[in-house]
């Protein structure tokens, strides 16, 4: 079996290699093709992965290429973890909105919008290549914003894509920590959008949690007011802090000595120095400070369920298909799914509490406009997307903000500058 990793220059690639080795009895991978447009990072990562795999006793054959067709041809799964513009573009996504008094964050608000504009066209190109050169392959995506990316790919191609995020595991992990139960025994209704989701009807081993137990689980969230969660009646994604505590979040970002992107740039320099050391075959300590791990477990879980036709409960970004009656049928949502060889099937669930329907609808409206803008290069549509976003909304802010963001990303967004 061949697995392609597109965006293999990511610092997360060794985590995937480790997990693929751990599950070799279920996923008989023989070849891992590493692909990246940054050939220097690709070379460093290829060398380290070979040393790392050898130190673990894994017998993978590694290939390296900057050619997309060569990477995906014949692959059974194509893992995508691209970051167009790298973390330098991310810092602009964060700092420019903050200067306008808005949330400056990688996947939420104006920053997430710019990441979407850069990422969606690139992911559509990858998906079209998979359609042509590996039509049976599944794209396992964790390039953010993963929900918007999945919607763009579904709209522009027929490629099979699983849009994943570690956040889908959080309710199980919180329940395990709060109640002292195995995370594998936890199930829940889970609905909303990527980084805009709610978990409710939580069960442990088939038993519904009590009100007191639910409150203990809510207490694990931390970033969203406990009293508000009680009133809503659901556990919320940590990213809901940007919607429910906006002023506090903006003040914190404005007063911080550096953005998260700037911090990550420093950490990645340290991480890649360790990867480049030809005497080193172990994961660098700085990787633990990088954060964002855990995706490999989800990615491998989806591959395992599809390849071995093993029913598995997973959270993924998939077309709505009636799960949320207040959203369009084809709108991509983040929800609980049954995964097996047939793919990802939405599970029937109760709608989320009515108190959050409007917020989910508003952000989905923004997301669909963002996909339109990314695919067409329309400035008018891009402006409407920003005005539709609950975290921006004000036209007098959105118009100059869009001009500044597009100019900062001119090299990545040629469609917006044609004519």
How far is it, in rounded angstroms, from Cα 393 to Cα 405? 16
User: Which long-range CB contacts under 8 A does 14-17 form with residues at least 24 apart?
Assistant: 14/45, 14/48, 14/49, 14/52, 14/283, 14/287, 15/293, 15/295, 15/296, 16/79, 16/296, 16/299, 16/300, 17/49, 17/52, 17/53, 17/58, 17/60
How far is it, in rounded angstroms, from Cα 115 to Cα 106? 7
Structure-token pair, residue 81? 């973890």
Closest CA to 160 of 133, 193, 132, 127: 127
Instruction: Answer whether 329's CB lies under 8 Å from 320's CB.
Output: yes
End-to-end C-alpha distance for the chain, whole angstroms: 46
Beta-strand runs (E) in 143-278: 160-163, 186-193, 196-204, 207-208, 235-236
How far is it, in rounded angstroms, from Cα 146 to Cα 298? 14
CA quadruple 321, 327, 333, 338: dihedral, nearest 10? -30
Structure-token pair, residue 316? 């993924």
Bridge-based pairing of strands 332-340 and 343-346 is: antiparallel
| Coil vs helix vs strand at 209 | coil
Placement of tokens 């950490």 in the chain: 267
How far is it, in rounded angstroms, from Cα 302 to Cα 190? 17
Instruction: Answer whether 277's CB lies under 8 Å from 285's CB.
Output: no
Placement of tokens 């047939």 in the chain: 342
Angle at 93 between CA 384 and CA 193, to 5 degrees: 60
How far is it, in rounded angstroms, from Cα 258 to Cα 253? 8
DSSP letters, 47-116, are HHHHHHHHHHT--PEEEEES-HHHHHTT-SEEEE---TTHHHHHHHHHHHHHHTTS---SSSHHHHHHHH
Positions annotated as catalytic residues are: 239
How far is it, in rounded angstroms, from Cα 150 to Cα 344? 13
């Amino acid at each position: 079996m061949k697995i392609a990793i597109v965006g293999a220059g990511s610092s997360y690639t060794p985590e995937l290699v480790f997990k693929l080795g751990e599950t070799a009895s279920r996923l008989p991978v023989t070849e891992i093709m590493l692909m990246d447009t940054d050939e220097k990072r690709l070379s460093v990562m290829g060398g380290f992965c070979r040393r790392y795999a050898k130190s673990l006793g894994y017998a993978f054959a590694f290939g390296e290429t900057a050619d997309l067709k060569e990477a995906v041809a014949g692959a059974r799964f194509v893992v995508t973890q691209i970051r167009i513009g790298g973390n330098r573009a991310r810092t602009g996504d964060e700092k420019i909105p903050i200067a306008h008094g808005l949330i400056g964050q990688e996947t939420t608000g104006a920053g997430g919008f710019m990441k979407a504009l850069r990422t969606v066209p690139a992911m559509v190109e990858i998906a079209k290549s998979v359609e042509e050169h590996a039509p049976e392959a599944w794209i396992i995506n964790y390039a953010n914003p993963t929900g918007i990316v999945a919607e763009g790919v579904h709209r522009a191609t027929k490629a099979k894509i699983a849009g994943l995020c570690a956040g889908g595991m959080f309710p199980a992990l919180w329940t395990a920590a709060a109640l002292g139960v195995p995370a594998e025994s936890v199930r829940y209704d889970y609905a909303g959008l990527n980084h805009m989701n709610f978990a409710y009807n939580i069960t442990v081993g088939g038993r519904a949690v009590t009100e007191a137990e639910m409150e203990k689980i809510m207490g694990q969230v931390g970033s969203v007011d406990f009293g508000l969660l009680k009133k809503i009646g659901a556990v919320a994604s940590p990213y809901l802090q940007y919607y429910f505590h906006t002023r506090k979040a903006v003040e914190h970002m404005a007063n911080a000595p550096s953005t998260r992107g700037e911090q990550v740039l420093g950490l990645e320099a340290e991480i890649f120095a360790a990867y480049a050391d030809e005497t080193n075959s172990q994961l660098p300590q700085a990787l633990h400070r990088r954060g964002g791990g855990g995706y490999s477990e989800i990615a491998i879980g989806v591959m395992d369920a599809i390849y071995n036709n093993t029913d598995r409960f997973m959270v993924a970004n998939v077309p709505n298909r009636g799960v949320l009656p207040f959203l369009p049928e084809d709108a991509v949502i983040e929800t609980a799914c049954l995964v097996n060889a047939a793919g990802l099937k939405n599970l029937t669930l109760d709608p989320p509490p009515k108190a959050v329907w409007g917020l989910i609808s508003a952000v989905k409206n923004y997301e669909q406009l963002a996909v339109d803008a990314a695919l067409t290069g329309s400035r008018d549509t891009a402006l409407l997307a920003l005005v539709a976003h609950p975290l921006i909304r004000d036209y007098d802010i959105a118009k100059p903000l869009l001009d500044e963001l597009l100019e900062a990303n001119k090299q990545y967004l040629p469609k917006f500058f044609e004519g």
